[in-house]
A and B are shown apart, each in its own frame.
Chain A
Amino acid sequence: QKEVEQNSGPLSVPEGAIASLNCTYSDRGSQSFFWYRQYSGKSPELIMFIYSNGDKEDGRFTAQLNKASQYVSLLIRDSQPSDSATYLCAVGNQAGTALIFGKGTTLSVSS
């Protein structure tokens, strides 16, 4: 059974700090990695995707991928209270047919 693991949290950071969210995956053949943000009671929203080793930046968000370590992370710089949500890590399966989701990490940003 292919797995995606995340620390459930909650991860608490003060406003303006950097939040670091981590995810590990079991399928070494995985090639596509995604971060979704889910506010309470709402559906997930795609915020970042990364396919190659290294860093990918988009505004205040940076996704980091290390395929050798089977590790993907999301950094949120200058965290805002509006960033408070659950962040879901998702990994594409080798067949190219579906995403495998972690259980999510809850982030709380205090003002």
Chain B
Amino acid sequence: EAQVTQNPRYLITVTGKKLTVTCSQNMNHEYMSWYRQDPGLGLRQIYYSMNVEVTDKGDVPEGYKVSRKEKRNFPLILESPSPNQTSLYFCASSPSFGGGSLVETQYFGPGTRLLVL
């Protein structure tokens, strides 16, 4: 089954304690991306990756890091989390940017709800 998995699904942590949210896809997709969702602000892109070892900043990259060492994995790293990073995070993948051709689509993970105290 085609899917994007994220772990953990829920996380409570304290300010400054490094954490990693994993994202994995089983569709051999080249494009992967991280978003955060906050009430009234919609979705905002954090980082994206066009392929292995190719990453770039989205709209709100401050305080986050990513890596893409393998095609299937795209972890999101918060080196020193702060309360303003409390949010709902989504990972997504697609054959290429925008879901590829018109018949291809983008797949989203189930989300990770993070609370930073």
Physical interaction between A and B: no
